Amino acid sequence: MRASLTAKNIKGLKPAAMPYEVRDTKIKGFLLRVQPSGAMAYYLSYTPASGRRQRYRIGAVGSLTPAQARDIAEELAGHVAHGIDIHAQKKATRIEAEKARVRVLRGFLEYKYRPWVLAERKTGDDTLQRIQYNFRNLLDKPLGELTHWVAEKWRAEQLKSGKSKATVNRDMAALRAALSKAVEWGLIESHPLAKLKPIRGDRLTKVHYLSKDEEARLRGALVARDHKLKAGRASANAWRRARGYELYPDLSNCPYADHLTPMLVLSLNTGLRRGEVFSLTWNCVNLQTKTLTIEGTTAKSGQTRHVPLNDEALSVLKAWREQTQGEGLVFPGKDGKRLDNVRKSWSGVLNAAKINNFRWHDLRHDFASKLVMAGIPLNTVRDLLGHADLTTTLRYAHLAPDHRAEAVAMLRRA
């Protein structure tokens, strides 16, 4: 079919059972293709120097007017007449646009770094969110413009806002690691932050652990929370029973109201990371040998380790398994999938116990600190915590039974 491709003529076209074309009467090769779905697009049909006829998609009806599409067709026909491969040109333009997109921090993180970090790093999603949130004011900068000066300015602003040196260093380390991949993948020639050194700070920072009174209050708050939840469930079931509704599972004879108490007590007695607790499965718990296994696939270090269970941890897991008929995840979420946080319930327990500035990760510090204070060698603590080397464990060294005073006293005796 041949017709002048005007807005009026195009509006009158109807889809058919098979695709069909309408060739423009004014410009040779300019045509409109109509699909059975009703979708329509402009094309240029041309014969390049190779001699094999080809079609070049100009754009869809609706995104271009007939006049705009005709102008583009005329320009493309001129390129063809001068021997230019318009398909190759289009591909090169698209590739260059994609390269430009990923050479900006936002595009690089979204289209290049995200697929890699999620596949290769267990904490990939957290890492990505850390960079995108903390460097949100730099997301539209080209990678090569994330210079030493820009980084120093950012660090100064963060410190001024109250961030600790350690946190600022961790944030910057995440960005530096991402830029290292950009260099490796050839998106930038050299690392713009290669010479940036971490902010120097106190390596042996103070660790937060629970005093005897705080631990007693925390455990008391957990017991009170379980009682409250059980009473609430009993009240709800009484209300539903009176109205003939289906009852919720009865909690009155259960050791725990939900997963929070066993999770927390297990963490106090094993020093597991929060993510390790969330990912723990029953096939990694051996109640006979009194050990649990943290597999390398879920451990931060990537190395499998075996953690012994003391009497309290063993008792908690036995009771929890009996209560839940445990299979799969030890502490699944409501939908049976892996938990991603316990912020609300954890915050409620801390408030009830009147404990301030205590994070879930501080349960791990509490475990390690009390082992060191009991005289357990640092290397044993390192092994139990799953630290890659002793350097990280040294933060607890000052808590060991102090032989330094004895050493100084011997000087006077000598």
Burial of 33 (0-12, 13-18, 19+ CB in 10 A): middle
Residue 231: pLDDT above 80? yes
Q: In this structure, what token pair is assigned to residue 183?
A: 């260099």
Domains identified in the chain, total number: 3
Q: What are the strands, taking DSSP E only, across 148-251?
A: none
Question: Which of the four pLDDT bands, split at 50, 70 and 90, describes residue 203?
Answer: low
Helix (H, G, I), strand (E, B) or coil at 25: coil
DSSP one-letter string for 147-160: -HHHHHHHHHHHHH
pLDDT at 58: 92
CA 164, CA 202: separation in Å to the nearest integer? 11
Tell how strand 2-3 and strand 20-24 pair up.
parallel
CA separation, residue 104 to residues 91, 100, 127, 128, 194 (Å): 21, 7, 18, 15, 18
Question: Which of the four pLDDT bands, split at 50, 70 and 90, describes residue 98?
Answer: low
CA 168, CA 96: separation in Å to the nearest integer? 35
Q: What residue numbers bound the domain in which 342 lies?
A: 212-399
Lowest mean pLDDT among 84-93, 272-281, 283-292, 344-353: 84-93
Q: Can you give the pTM of this predicted structure?
A: 0.61
Task: Give the CA dihedral 224, 228, 233, 235, nearest 10 degrees.
Answer: 140
How large is the average pLDDT for residues 6-29? 91
Per cent of the chain over pLDDT 90 is 57
- Report whether 357 contacts 365 (CB < 8 A): no
Tell how strand 20-24 and strand 30-34 pair up.
antiparallel
Domain of 18, CATH number, reads: 3.30.160.390
Domain check: are 230 and 366 in the same one?
yes
Domain check: are 43 and 62 in the same one?
yes
Residue 35: pLDDT above 90? yes
Give the residue, 324 or 302, on which the prediction is more confident.
Answer: 324
Quick: pLDDT tens for 353-404.
Answer: 999 989 999 999 999 889 888 888 888 888 898 888 887 787 787 777 665 5
Q: Which residue has the tokens 């808590």?
A: 399
Single-letter code of the amino acid located at 315 = S
Lowest mean pLDDT among 169-173, 239-243, 332-336: 332-336
- What average pLDDT is seen over the chain? 88
Helix (H, G, I), strand (E, B) or coil at 24: strand
Among candidate residues 130, 165, 184, the one where a domain is terminated = 184
Residue 96: pLDDT above 70? no
Whether residue 412 lies inside any domain: the answer is no
Domain check: are 53 and 112 in the same one?
no
Name the phi and psi angles at 24, rounded to 5: -70, 145
Q: In this structure, what token pair is assigned to residue 387?
A: 């630290």
CA 146, CA 401: separation in Å to the nearest integer? 47
Burial of 406 (0-12, 13-18, 19+ CB in 10 A): exposed
Domain of 321, CATH number, reads: 1.10.443.10
What is the spatial order of strands in the sheet that 285-286 belongs to?
285-286, 291-294, 305-308
Domain check: are 116 and 15 in the same one?
no
Question: Which of the four pLDDT bands, split at 50, 70 and 90, describes residue 150?
Answer: very high
Other Cβ atoms within 10 Å of 401 Cβ, number: 9
How large is the average pLDDT for residues 186-199? 90
Helix (H, G, I), strand (E, B) or coil at 42: strand
Among candidate residues 94, 129, 154, the one where a domain is terminated = 94
Residue 412: pLDDT above 60? no
How large is the average pLDDT for residues 250-275? 94
Helix (H) or strand (E) holding 137, with range, is: none
Cβ density class 145-178: b for 16+ within 10 Å, e for less: ebeeeebeebbeebeeeebebeebbebbebbbeb
Domain check: are 392 and 294 in the same one?
yes
DSSP one-letter string for 319-351: HHHHHHT--SBSSB-TTSSB----HHHHHHHHH
User: Which residues on adjacent β-strands are paired with residue 285?
Assistant: 292
Domain check: are 150 and 279 in the same one?
no
CA separation, residue 408 to residues 241, 373, 382, 398, 403 (Å): 73, 21, 28, 16, 9
Domain check: are 287 and 386 in the same one?
yes
How large is the average pLDDT for residues 176-203? 88
Among candidate residues 140, 165, 184, the one where a domain is terminated = 184
How large is the average pLDDT for residues 71-79? 89
